[in-house]
Structure 1
Amino acid sequence: MNENTILSAVLPEHEDDPETLHIFMLVKSTRHWLDLATADRTAFLKEELLPLLVKRPEVTMRYFDAEAFSARATDVLFWETKDISAWQWICDHLRETKFWDYYFEVLEILPSLEGNYLAAGR
């Protein structure tokens, strides 16, 4: 790092727990998804995705639309958990839905830990 490097602060909810796993899932929507009406997309998410998160509350998810900025990934799902087995359960069950490889092509899964040690050296 040089003097021009800007370090971002650690999110307050992770200051005392650097072991929270942050998982970036880059996906590309398929024609199947794009051809669905908005109401059908919403219904799919409520009926298929939401119940998985209810069963594994140790895992949270946020959804980001990236299609205006990337030709590769149209969306980024940001998952957080402290329980890697809960994350694995989510992935296993996502594969059993139309989410995986029907409505979305999963391009990359990038697990990461927030760089607490960087902020600590300020």
Structure 2
Amino acid sequence: MATRYAFFIHLRALPEWLRLPREQRRVLGEAHLHALLPRYQGALRLRHFDAEAFAAPCSDLMLVETDDPLKHYDFMERLRDSPLLTVPYFEVLQILPAIEDGYVAFEQSGTT
């Protein structure tokens, strides 16, 4: 069973982003976030969650899932070079890495 890594990326939308019309936000998201995904050809999965109605510090969460942490690293480097983080429109507050069902692999390894 391949190890599945999950990276929970906590983001804060900045006033520069919130001042943009929603259509412009959609275009920027497509151009600088979703356009990155085909490069990983299924090796990386991205999910987005809105949190602003439930949490004060972060407004958005991205969940990046992959079997290869270097794919995540590459994705983050490209994201950091994009206007989403360089204008900046968003601030990365924290990244929490995790291993999906890590305890299962540990228990199956026989080292318990």
Both proteins in one fold, TM over 0.5: yes
Counterpart for residue 41 of structure 1: 25
Structure 1 unaligned blocks of 5 or more: 1-15
User: Which of 67, 82, 86 is residue 67 of structure 2 equivalent to?
Assistant: 82
Structure ranking higher in helix proportion:
2
Q: How far 1:83 moved relative to its partner?
A: 1.2
Greater CA deviation, 109-118 or 27-36? 109-118
Counterpart for residue 62 of structure 1: 47
RMSD, aligned α-carbons = 1.9
Total equivalences in the alignment: 105
- For residues 60 and 27 of structure 1, the distance between their equivalents in structure 2, rounded to whole angstroms, comes to 17
TM-score, normalisation: structure 1: 0.78
Counterpart for residue 110 of structure 2: none
* Percent of aligned positions that are identical: 31
- Work out whether 1:92 is the aligned partner of 2:77: yes
- For residues 103 and 71 of structure 2, the distance between their equivalents in structure 1, rounded to whole angstroms, comes to 26
| Superimposed CA distance per residue, residues 46-93 of structure 1 (whole angstroms, 9 cap, x where no aligned partner) | 111112111113111100000011110011001100111111110111
**4+ residue segments displaced more than 3 Å:** none
Q: How far 1:115 moved relative to its partner?
A: 3.1
TM-score, normalisation: structure 2: 0.85
Largest Rg, 1 or 2:
1
Q: How far 1:116 moved relative to its partner?
A: 4.6
Structure 2 unaligned blocks of 5 or more: 108-112
Query: Equivalent residue of 1:99, what SS?
Result: helix
Q: Which amino acid aligns with 2:53?
A: A
